[in-house]
Amino acid sequence: MLPRLDPLAHTIITKRLFKDNKSLFQELAQAHEGITPSYRLVSQEGPSHNREFTVEVMLGDRVAGRGQGRNKQTAEQEAARGALVSRGWI
């Protein structure tokens, strides 16, 4: 069992996947581009008990990623994940 977990643990540590997407994206965006990301709400749809939020993460005036979720926090995490993937940072 342990030999199979070792490569996975190594990947998690080297790619810093133990952090949430927003924290990781902020660290990497500041390190690579010198910009602190910001998040903007694009839309919220549906009734209050079943709302869907769409959020974009911005680097300056550029959209770096877009995410959706049942609440703003989830949508922001998804936007950050999309930005991390699109840049090849994870």
Q: What is the pLDDT of residues 9-49, one digit of tens each?
A: 777 677 656 679 999 999 999 999 999 999 999 999 999 89
Q: Are 52 and 70 in contact (CB under 8 A)?
A: yes
34, 86, 30, 17: which is closest to 56 by C-alpha? 86
Q: All domains of the chain, ordered by start, with CATH?
A: 2-86 (3.30.160.20)
Mean pLDDT of 66-90: 95
Confidence check: pLDDT of 65 > 90: yes
d(CA 57, CA 84): 11
Q: How many CA atoms lie within 13 A of 82 on its CB side?
A: 18
3-class secondary structure, 58? strand
Q: Quick one: pLDDT band at residue 6, thresholds 50, 70, 90? A: confident
Instruction: Identify the pLDDT of residue 19.
Output: 76
